[in-house]
Structure 1
């Protein structure tokens, strides 16, 4: 069906609606990438270089998308990637969790089908891990190497007590505030000074203001999951980042220590080099995410999808490999699976959906991807995502641009 007021047919339309609804600074915080944006652009463009090899008869009448990631069964191979403070909607991460827990996917073969997927929750999230785990039972908690080892471990154990099923350790980010188009101005906290500074932006976005007014809240730029162990006020979003920036960088021995102390499913996120993937295996990780932090790491790094095949070849028989970066369509998901990923994570796509329609918008994005995956499986003549292989793709020479050493 065509897009309507309450429904959109593409992630691109979700992005257009997000831009229309959000204040300029909030919107640009969702689309910004490091420095010139080379990696940011390549994350999306690289998918267009991959072609399909379809079949036209004897196609399967039903297609299966179920898989398992870090011990959790999911109904489609798309997970919610952890992202920081979500001030695009008053419900924030709780709305995302509800959508991930039970999305009423509009599948022509089964219009009432409800699917569920797992959600990564950032330690820099605007809602607590307790709030999110209360509405979803498949949460992976994400930590940065921020603060003392004891603080990091207690943060992880707090998440486990709340019900988190796995731990994601994000190690990629050569932080750069520089953007060739200018970094979006974001206040450290919402106070009178910030209200006056951003009033011209807010006045032009009445729906955004109305949604917050109806909620009885104001955008809270704190990171409750970074609150000091034993109690105390949570730092602001930028305060949490300050802790991260000033913490000594971890070693692989540190990663192995946290893996042992956590004692459960454990993902290392930010892998772009086969050597790092092997080190993650040695550290005891159960999964790796091929990721360049959505183009917010070292600019000039190739797209994550380009790095995926070499990492799958290096460790795919020993560890679960997922990837994130640039997913905009179900066909993109299928291309990643054909190159060896077990599943993908999405970030901007669901944030745009939430900005467009709140929880319903997140469900809308998951529905778009679910239907797109199903259509691609049909065209390729596959009855399951587990039948996909590189033979289903037309891969141009030098596509990977990543050493296999």
Structure 2
């Protein structure tokens, strides 16, 4: 009996904390969502970068509470409710989005790592079934969750929650209310593969999709914890809530218990102040699933390509060239934020560092100014520069976005 008890305790310990936490985003370090506003480009503190949101107060878009977490997630003191409301338009874009980015210098984009989170919705302020939502995605969209009607698909609505590689659905389930979906992306940045672990409620994670080839492009500052919703003509903007719990990244063996590793009082790799050495080297993907930086997929089966003016330190990223590519978000620097400077080492590795200077200022007339490479140059509701700096041309990606390349 003693042996059985001891064996059970050992097994429980191994399942609860199997790996090593690289970054802890479980909101344990935040007293309230207003703590997110302490972060800025000049004061990079806390577990998250907070800049992709609408113009209202932080509590319009993010709120924290113990009632927002998975009850089985004992490693978290609270969860987050991430909201899209009628004001949730960032940086003049036509898509609604509220997203958090890990603030860390840890090697979350190297080797084999596991990106953990749990996701839930309610019937109140439910995500629309008639519009595409991109959830917990990377800048190049090599893997992500999606919900709602997928751009370019037949019909008008879709009840599924999907896991995708390069826009191709690899797993799906009806997204019912009040069901916690526990997820881990198993990403091997060296092997260029992604696998999928999943469970519901308090059940332990199991690998439901073995690792598959993917263009695992990340600079360590481009995982979006939150949601981006693509616009769709004829469908009004309604308030939508997404609940997140148990957000962390680990290396080593995967933690399968939803209880998660023991609560941490600090976030490994999170600086208390900005540092010029905080840039994370970008590992260019060597997978055949990558293309030239930021060039949208030309696949005949691709869905609409969305370009986000992300003012993070991300270098231009490589979208997947899967036969059914997803809408792709790429970095476009605006004059309101620092432009990323890309340097190349002898080995050919790109490193992004934030510059204190803003991007080249445009004149007030859209017809007399030029947009830089990879910048937006057109689309519905766009009022900026429509001509591209030589030798680049303005290419239409979709009705909502044109880009210089």
Q: Which has the higher contact order (CA 8 A, sep 6+)?
A: 1
**Bucket of the pairwise TM-score, normalised by the shorter protein:** under 0.3
The structure in which a higher percent of residues are helix is: 1
Q: Scaled by the length of structure 2, what TM-score is found?
A: 0.27
